[in-house]
């Protein structure tokens, strides 16, 4: 998988603005206490192993958004996890969520193409003895109206990458998330934890690789551990994305 380059054309910018108001599924309830989810996109091996170890050491679970077609291959964030890693994660209680099979960009795809890729991905996960995923994350965080509408019928929550909190009225078909990535990633995530605690909201955090020298899309084990501990010490309930949406949307 090559590093992402956003569609910088006028059409791409306009589409990203308009799609936020299309095919919405507003959340009808607010959390009773602050919640946080730790999610890992593309499931590099370092996230499936080091990231999971940090959560499990504290009795917690995360969510892994897997593109099955990338399993075992090399990418800009290091080697991707193998099917055995995904089975172990699922067996330990982590959520295995859905990306597109080949990491297809839903911002540049037709609805039928995005659906075909998502179904293929879910079927491959099931072939690896992993339950059908309940939630989906748009690869690269981008989506067009067609994929957003058609995928909403398959998944309980569709996660994007624009920063924000999950609160009453939030669009579950394009839910916000905050990245733990780059040199300011940990500090930014801590600021969002403070906002979520003050507003009793649900914060979804995401990263990719978890290693001492991370890619620009990843974070260090020290940063992730610090955020997990800050959430627990701050009274957050740590939930998978599937559990969070089950509680709030029924």
Give the model confidence (pLDDT) of 82-139 as tens digits.
Answer: 999 999 999 999 999 999 999 999 999 999 999 999 999 999 999 999 999 999 999 9
Lowest mean pLDDT: which of 14-23, 98-107, 198-207? 14-23
State yes or no: pLDDT of 221 exceeds 60: yes
Does residue 107 fall inside a structural domain? yes
Average pLDDT (148-155) is 97
Given this model, what pLDDT does residue 250 score? 78
Does residue 6 fall inside a structural domain? no
Quote the number of domains for the chain.
1
Q: What is the 3-state secondary structure (H, E, C) of the chain?
A: CCCCCCCCCHHHHHHHHHHCCCCCCECCCCCCCCEEEEEEECCEHHHHHHHHHHHHCCCCCCEEEECHHHCCCEEECEEECCHHHHHHHHHCCCEEEECCCCCCCCCCCCHHHHHHHHHHHHHHHHHCCCCCCCEEECHHHCCCHHHHHHHHCCCCEEECCCCCCECCCCECCCECCEECCCCCHHHHHHHHHHHHHHHCCEEEEEECCECCCCCCCCECHHHHHHHHHHHHHCCCEECCHHHHHHHHHC
Place of tokens 């924000």: 164
Given this model, what pLDDT does residue 187 score? 98
Does residue 15 fall inside a structural domain? no
State yes or no: pLDDT of 9 exceeds 80: no
Does residue 163 fall inside a structural domain? yes
32 is in which domain, residue-wise?
25-249
Given this model, what pLDDT does residue 6 score? 62
Given this model, what pLDDT does residue 8 score? 65
Given this model, what pLDDT does residue 14 score? 81
What is the pTM assigned to this prediction? Answer: 0.95
State yes or no: pLDDT of 167 exceeds 80: yes
Q: Using CA of residue 51, residue 78, residue 125, residue 155, what is the dihedral sign?
A: positive
Given this model, what pLDDT does residue 157 score? 98
State yes or no: pLDDT of 1 exceeds 60: no
Given this model, what pLDDT does residue 164 score? 98
Does residue 8 fall inside a structural domain? no
Average pLDDT (42-51) is 97
Average pLDDT (54-75) is 97
**CATH code at 214?**
3.20.20.370
Does residue 1 fall inside a structural domain? no
Report how far residue 123's alpha carbon sits from residue 230's, in angstroms, rounded to the nearest whole number: 37
Does residue 4 fall inside a structural domain? no
Does residue 126 fall inside a structural domain? yes
């Amino acid at each position: 998988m090559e590093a992402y380059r956003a569609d910088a054309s006028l059409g791409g910018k306009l589409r990203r603005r308009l799609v936020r108001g299309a095919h919405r599924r507003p959340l009808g309830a607010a959390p009773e206490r602050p919640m946080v989810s730790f999610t890992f996109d593309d499931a590099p091996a370092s996230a499936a192993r080091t990231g999971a170890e940090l959560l499990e050491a504290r009795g917690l679970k995360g969510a892994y958004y897997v593109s099955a077609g990338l399993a075992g291959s090399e990418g800009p964030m290091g080697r991707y996890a193998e099917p055995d890693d995904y089975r172990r994660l699922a067996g330990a209680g982590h959520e295995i969520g859905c990306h597109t099979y080949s990491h297809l960009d839903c911002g540049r795809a037709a609805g039928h193409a995005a659906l075909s890729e998502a179904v293929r991905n879910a079927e491959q996960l099931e072939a690896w003895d992993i339950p059908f995923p309940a939630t989906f994350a748009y690869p690269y965080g981008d989506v067009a109206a067609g994929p957003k509408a058609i995928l909403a019928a398959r998944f309980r929550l569709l996660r994007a990458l624009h920063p924000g909190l999950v609160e009453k009225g939030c669009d579950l078909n394009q839910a916000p998330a905050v990245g733990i990535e780059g040199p300011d990633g940990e500090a930014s995530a801590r600021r969002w934890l403070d906002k979520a605690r003050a507003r009793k909201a649900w914060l979804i955090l995401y990263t990719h690789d978890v290693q001492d020298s991370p890619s620009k899309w990843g974070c260090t084990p020290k940063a992730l551990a610090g955020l997990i501990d800050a959430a627990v010490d701050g009274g957050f309930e740590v939930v998978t994305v599937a559990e969070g949406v089950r509680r709030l949307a029924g």
